[in-house]
Amino acid sequence: MKIQLCKKFSKVDKLQKKLTEAFPDDTVVVKSCIDMCKVCKHQPVAKVDGKKQTAKRISKLISKIEAL
């Protein structure tokens, strides 16, 4: 699974660390843009294998990704 994060998210380092811990076999990449403008600055977002995922909290985002 390929997980892409936007570098504009204020806690991108924390999000990247938690995703790497939760999914050690998958690729977690921080990109300059993942085409989710305005949303990515305020809440955790990720593109998982091309599908956009959003959540209010990092833990909720991890739960959504696990459900895929």
Total number of domains constituting the chain = 1
Edge-to-edge strands of the sheet including 2-6?
Answer: 27-31, 2-6, 45-48, 51-54
Instruction: Give the per-residue pLDDT at 23.
Output: 94
29 within a domain of the structure (yes/no)? yes
Instruction: Give the per-residue pLDDT at 36.
Output: 87
The parts of the chain modelled with pLDDT lower than 50 are none
68 within a domain of the structure (yes/no)? no
Q: How far, in Å, CA of 60 to CA of 12, rounded?
A: 15
14 within a domain of the structure (yes/no)? yes
**Tokens found for residue 25:** 């076999």
pTM attached to this predicted model = 0.90
Q: Do the Cβ atoms of 3 and 19 come closer than 8 Å?
A: yes
Instruction: Give the per-residue pLDDT at 37.
Output: 85
66 within a domain of the structure (yes/no)? no
